[in-house]
Structure 1
Amino acid sequence: MPTTKPSELRKLPVSELQKRIQDTKKELMELRFQSSIGQLDKNHRVAEAKREIARMMTVLGEKARGVEGANEVEAKPTQAGKRTAAKAKAPAQKPRAKKA
């Protein structure tokens, strides 16, 4: 089963989403069984199925809350370099004198 984009999932009715979640969970169970007995050739398929279920459940939750296209807005890139530099500039604590 190829991965489905969230924008495509949002167009589906709730009943179809629930059916797809159920089908993908069955597929995941079969993949785990095949993996446990050593017959699974594509091990990455287990992780893909889990992500697909999570993606569909997220869209289903959005529909339940009435959120429309919450994830379609692009996020601004983070400035990780500035955060690490700020941590490096933090003043060091003074060593405390030992009490006699």
Structure 2
Amino acid sequence: MVTMFVAITDRSWFYLLSAAQPDEVNFWQPSGGKAFRALMPGELFLFKLHSPNDYIVGGGVFSHASNVPYRWPGMRSAPRTASSASPTCVTASHIIVATRI
């Protein structure tokens, strides 16, 4: 059986990263201080666009996740787009790293 995790991402952010074609992608997700345990290293981490474009657009091989304090002055909510205005304060987030496939 194959284990995978599907993360929802913003279309503009996807296009920005697609143009850059990085070897590694960092995905930000609010954590509430809890560890990301959905995947083990080597399992698939996939990206799906928000509605109305509900389809998988890419993915990678999960490497690791870290809980980090996330603080960006002026931020009112989680940054969800490539053009997010200056992001108040989220106390913890997952930074999930996957190698592009």
**TM-score interval w.r.t. the shorter chain?**
under 0.3
Q: Which has the larger radius of gyration?
A: 1
**By percentage of residues, which structure has more helix?**
1
TM-score, length-normalised on structure 2?
A: 0.25
**By percentage of residues, which structure has more strand?**
2
